[in-house]
Every structure is written in C-alpha cells, then in structure tokens.
Chains A and B, each alone.
Chain A
Amino acid sequence: MSPQVAGQLELLGQVLISGILLGGLYSLIGLGMSLIMGVMKIINLAHGELMMVAMYITFWAFTLAKIDPYVSLLIVFPLMFLLGVSVQKFLLTPVMEADTVLPQNQVLLTVGLGLVLSNLALLFFTANYRSVPVSYASKTIYWDLKLGGQTISLSFSYPFLVAFCIAGVLGASLFIFLAKTDTGRMIRATAQDKRAAALMGINTKRITYITFGLGAALVGAAGALLDPVYYLYPQIGGPFTSKAFVITILGGLGDIPGAVLGGLVLGLAESLGSVYISLGYKDAFGFIIFVLVLIFMPRGLLGRGRA
C-alpha cells in the first residue's frame, strides 16, 4: 500500500470514528424526542432548549462547585426529569383537549417554551460563549494500526469517547427499563394505543408525565456530556432541536430503536460531509438526508414508523 492510500484511509477512519462518537450523543438526543413522539404523538420543538438548560446546569455546577460534568449527570438527570414532568403536567396536558382552530397547539406551545427558555438564558447568563474547561478537554487516545506495511494512526477524543460510552449505557438502560419494568411496559402500551391502555387501567396521564420527564432527562444527559466538548451559549438549543427531529424522522416517527440508528446516521453524515464536501454546509447534510428519507422512505430508515 502506498503512503497516499494509507493517508486517505487514515482520514476516512478518523472521519468515521468522530462521526460515530458524535452520533452516539445524537442518538441520546433522538431517544428522548422519539420517546415523547411515541407516547404523546407530538414533536417537542423545545428539545434543544431543554438540552441548553442542562448544559447551563452542568456549567454552573462545574464553575461554582467544581463538579465534574460526568458526575453532575447525577444532578442533571433528576432535575431535568422534574422540569420535563412539570412542562407536561402544567403546560401540555392542560391544552391537550382544548378545541382550537389551529391544530398542533401542543407543538406550538413547545415553540413558545423554547423561545422562553433561550431568552431566559440570554437574560440571566448573557450571550457570551462559555465553555467548561475540564483538564481532559483535549486529551486524546491513539490507536495505531498496521496495514499492508503502513501504519495508520487513529485518534479518539477522550471526552467524546467517554460521552459515547455513557450514552451507550443510558440508551441500554432505557431499553431495559422499557422492556422489563412495569412502568416501561405501560409506556409502551400507551405509545401503541392510548385509549386501549387507559381501558386496561393504565393511568395514561401519569405515563405522559413520566415520558416527558424521561425525554427531558435523556436530552439533558446529552447536554451534560456535550459540555466538555462544545461551546455553550443561549441560542445553542435551536440547531439541536432541528437535529432532534431530523433524527426522529430518519428513525421513523416514534420508533425508539430507529432513533439510535437515526442519531448515528446523522453523526456520520455531518462528519463525512464536512470533511469531504464542505464544512460550511455541515448542518445541512442532515436536512438533505432528511428530505431524501421523506421522499423515498417516509416511514423511516427501518420502515416501521408511522407514515
């Protein structure tokens, strides 16, 4: 193998690695969105803004109390769960049954919520870009591969790798929770057929609170994991809300395993696209795949979502 080919392979390998690592975080974001979509049948357009809130919690925990972002997951997860439960209980549920001319009034409400959250952050924390200067922010792990007489050296960003692993653990826990616990089964039953679930004695209202709580907690966890590797500013939520619904549609509306795949695909698309096509359009690649999926496979990549 010539050195040029090896160089190309090294680049490709590197791009794939960073795409998959990023995709793991995206999957976590998508899981929360998909869970909410599956049970409440609404798209949460404040999803990215909820993540932003979690990022600020993590930021302040680090700045004020020197709590490591990964440790602060223990604070972020329950706090975001409570925030999610309150949003569902006090905002979304009350307008669910309202007879209004405009459809989607719950989604419209999440639009308002997103605006409120990002502008509250702007008010309290200013528009400044902030970061969490952890000691391991730029720590890298190398992995040398011998291939056809050439050495291919791949690097893994430590915080991304840790984030990926924690996201994997959280995702796996979610699946076990949904499959094995009573509450998890009730969530799945409600997602499948809310009326039937209610007839079988499931308190579907309580299930919606828990679901939104979990959705918020999951995206919150993603926020905490992103803190060491991303800048933080009040408007960061918007782009992530877009990413979240792109992931959800790629996976198929309400398809929870699909969301994991959607997240990975988006991560890879952004990573491959920004290296091989153009960095400026990094955020557009997800949308382009999104439109292609809409045209050719509207039930999502796995073909199991609601069309």
Chain B
Amino acid sequence: MSRKNLIGLLPIAAVLLIPLLTQNPYLLHMFILSLLWIVLGQSWNLLGGYTGQISYGHAAFFGVGAYTTGIMVKSGQSPSTAWWGLLFGGLMAALVAAFIGWVCFRLRGSYFSLSVLALSEVLRLVAVNWNRLTNGAEGILFIPAFTQKTYYYYIVFALAAVNLGVIRWVMRSKPGYYFLAIREDQDCAESLGIDTTKYKLLSLLISAFFTGAAGAFYMNYMGFIDPGIVFSIADISIMMILVTMLGGAATKWGPAVGAILFILVSEIFRVWVGSGHLLFFGVLIIAIIIYFPNGIVGTLVDRRTRKRRLRGAEAVA
C-alpha cells in the first residue's frame, strides 16, 4: 500500500478510537448520526455526483430498508436478528431500485429524477395504508438490541467503511470510469462502447443497497419508524442532496465533510434555536448552488489542481 493510501487511513483509524476516549452517550449519538449520514451522502454521491443521475427521492430506498427490518422484527423475530435487516433491507431497496431503473434509464433527462421522487411518495402511501404489514401511520416500535451505544457506533462505522471501500474500489475500476463518462456525455459514452442503461442501473443498485442498509441501521438504532419519518422528502431525500453538495459532489471526502457539518448544524438548531432548521437548509442549498457550486472539498481540490495545471501548462509550452 502506498504512502498516500496510508495517510488516507489515518482519519479512519482516529474515528475508530473515539469510543475508547468517550462513553458519553450524547457525543456517541452525534457520532453515530454523522456516520449514518456519511453512508447516505456517499451513496447519493455515487449516483448523483459520479454518475450524474440526480435522485430527488432516495428516501424510497432508506424507507424500504427500514421497513424491511421493522417488518422482520414485527413478524416474530427477536430484535437481534433484525441486524439481518442490514443485508435484506439493502437487497429489498436494490430490488425496488432495479424496477425504477429498468423503467426510467431507457429514457434520458429528468425522467429518473422525477420517477424516484414519485416512487418515494407511493411507498410512503403504501406504508401508511397497508396496515397489516406496516402497522400504518402508527409506525413500528421495538426495543433495540443493545443499550450500549458503543456497539451501534462500531456497526455503523463498519457500514460506512465498507460503503467507502466499495465506492473507492468501484470508482477505480471499469464501472467507475464508465459512470464518469455517462455523467459527462451519454452519447459519447455510448459510442465508446458503454451500455449506458446497464451502468446507470449498476450505479443505482449500489447506491440503493447502501441507502437501504442505512435505513435498516436506523430502524435498529432508533427502535421506531413511521412512514412520515423514513419516507420524508424534506428530511431524507433533500438532505442527502444537501449533504453531498455541501461537502462537494463527486469528491472522495465531500459527503463525509457535508454529513458532519449537517449533523452539527442540525444539533445547533435543535438545542439553541428550536425550529427553522429546514428553512436554514433551504437557504443553504440555494446559497451553495449560487456561490459555492463545488462544495467545500470540491473547492479545495479545484484550487490544488489549478495550481498543478498551471505548472503542467508550463511544461507543455
């Protein structure tokens, strides 16, 4: 492993040590939420940032993951088997994604973006109305398996690490190059031998799987879900976009930076301001698009490459 990769692992190692330094449940709760949102941001980023397919309804996959887990528990399994939800919730989300991708990716433009938004609304309605399966608007409640937050911390940490690892690996191999090519120019990608429908679908499946797994973790950790929470457009779908844009779309660490800031700001609003966090985030989305389109990490990376490019241009000239 190269020196650069080792340095990249340092922050990961540091994060791994946090529970040894503090057992404060409140702090750990904040870290757990941050890691959860890192998974959500990274997953959205794979599809939106790297592949250029904007989803306004990723809550669909989050909700399916959460409900798969909740239903598993409700149908007689003990809460500890609910951890299988991480796998099955992810797979169910991917299955739903396969359907919507199959319908939409043959078409260009914003069809996918809108359909996935519509899908998340339909699923919310299903969750509200299919009482026998989902317990309707009341939601699903169970006692979480652990009282110790440290366990949850390591589980969601593992999820985030696997998520990051898979995305890194994909982006360094053939599909990753294909995702970027599709984002840049679909006609060109097709003429270079890329089955754009297939690769868009692949990107969506990976993204939906991890979003579903994150939903499953949420169910396990919070012990309560209802349709309004897990299928929320404002609180899940749009916030996933915000997290990615804030940190920087199509960057390695952007979603992580975005997620941490997002949790921090949410918490500041919850504790000190009371309400209005969505108003603030709405303004933030507009401000980022107008003034800061590459996000935090994207802007930093841009500066660095511009410097390097200047040096490169001298070499060429």
A residues lining the B interface (CB < 8 Å): 43, 45, 91, 94-95, 98-105, 107-109, 111-116, 118-120, 122-123, 238-239, 242, 245-246, 249, 253, 278, 280-281, 283-284, 287-288, 290-291, 294-295, 298, 306-307
B171 proximal to A (CB < 8 A): no
5 nearest interchain CB pairs? A115-B282, A112-B285, A116-B282, A119-B279, A280-B129
> B114 to chain A: which residues have CB within 8 Å?
43, 245, 249
Chain B 218-239 against A: per-residue CB contact (8 Å), 1 yes, 0 no? Answer: 0000000000000001100010
Which of B48, B111, B290, B298 has a CB less than 8 Å from the CB of A95? B290
- 0 or 1 for each of B44-82: is its CB under 8 Å from A? (1 = yes): 000011001010100000000000000000000000000
Number of A-B contacts (CB under 8 A): 132
Residues of B contacting A91 in the complex (Cβ-Cβ under 8 angstroms): 286, 290
Q: In the bound complex, what is the Cα–Cα distance between A281 and B275 (angstroms)? A: 31
Contact, CB under 8 Å: B282 / A119:
yes
The answer, yes or no, to whether B22 is at the interface (CB within 8 Å) is no
Could you tell me the distance in whole angstroms from the C-beta of B119 to the nearest C-beta in chain A?
8
- 15 A-B pairs in the complex with CB atoms less than 8 angstroms apart: A101-B249, A101-B293, A101-B294, A104-B113, A108-B54, A109-B290, A113-B282, A115-B278, A245-B118, A281-B125, A284-B125, A287-B119, A287-B122, A290-B115, A294-B104
User: Is the CB–CB distance between A298 and B129 below 8 Å?
Assistant: no
Quote the shortest CB–CB distance from A250 to chain B (angstroms): 12
Is there contact, CB below 8 Å, between B281 and A100?
no
List the A residue with the shortest CB-CB distance to B123: A284
Structural contact, B125 and A306, CB atoms closer than 8 A? no
Do A109 and B293 touch (CB < 8 A)? no
Task: Kindly report which residue of chain B lies nearest to residue A306, judged by CB atoms.
Answer: B109
Contact between chains at A112 and B289 (CB < 8 Å): yes
Q: In the assembled complex, which residues on chain B have CB atoms less than 8 Å from the CB atom of A290? A: 115, 118
- On whether the beta carbons of A101 and B117 are closer than 8 Å, the reply is no
Closest residue of chain A to B286, judged by CB?
A112
Q: Which B residues form the contact surface with A (CB < 8 A)?
A: 48-49, 52, 54, 56, 103-104, 107-111, 113-115, 117-119, 121-122, 125-126, 128-129, 183, 233-234, 238, 241, 245, 249-250, 275-276, 278-279, 281-286, 289-290, 293-294, 298
Q: Which single member of B52, B250, B285 contacts A108 (CB below 8 Å)?
A: B285
B209 CB, min distance to chain A CBs, angstroms:
22
Task: From A94, A123, A238, A280, give the contact of B233 (CB < 8 A).
Answer: A238
- Which residue of B has the minimal Cβ distance to A108? B289
* Chain A residues positioned under 8 Å from B241 (CB to CB): 108, 111
Q: Please report the C-alpha to C-alpha distance between residue A118 and residue B245 in the assembled complex, in whole angstroms.
A: 21
Distance from A162 Cβ to chain B, minimum over Cβ atoms (Å): 30
Q: Of B111, B129, B281, B289, which contacts A109 at CB under 8 A?
A: B289
Once A105-B289, A294-B104 are accepted as A-B contacts, the answer to whether A115 and B54 lie under 8 Å apart by CB is no
Asked if A115 and B275 sit within 8 Å, CB to CB, the answer is no
CB distance from B105 to the nearest CB of A (A): 11
Given A107-B54, A108-B285, A280-B128, A119 and B293 contact (CB-CB distance below 8 Å): no
B277 to chain A, nearest CB (A): 9
A283 to B281, CA, bound (A): 27
Q: Considering only CB atoms, which chain B residue lies closest to A98 in the complex?
A: B293
Complex-state Cα separation, A245 to B129, whole angstroms: 24
Please, how many angstroms separate the alpha-carbon atoms of A141 and B8 in the complex? 73
CA distance A291 to B103 in the complex (A): 8
A49 to B, closest residue via Cβ: B282
Task: Please state if A102 and B279 are interface contacts (CB–CB under 8 Å).
Answer: no
User: In the complex, how many angstroms separate the beta carbon of B300 from the nearest chain A beta carbon?
Assistant: 14
Q: A109-B285, A115-B279, A116-B283 are in contact. List 4 more A-B contacts (CB 8 A).
A: A111-B241, A114-B282, A115-B282, A294-B115
> With the chains together, A91 CA to B182 CA distance in Å?
28
* Contact pick for B103, options A105, A249, A284, A294, CB 8 Å: A294
A101 touches B54 (CB 8 A): no
A246 near B118: Cβ-Cβ < 8 Å: yes
Q: Which residues of A contact B285 (CB under 8 A)?
A: 108-109, 111-112, 115
Q: Give the residues in chain B near A94, CB-CB below 8 Å.
A: 290
Cα–Cα, bound, A100→B49 (Å): 10
Q: Which residues of B contact A238 (CB under 8 A)?
A: 233-234
Q: Which residue of A lies closest to B53 (CB)?
A: A103
Q: A101-B294, A102-B54, A108-B245 are in contact. Are A120 and B279 (CB under 8 A)?
A: yes
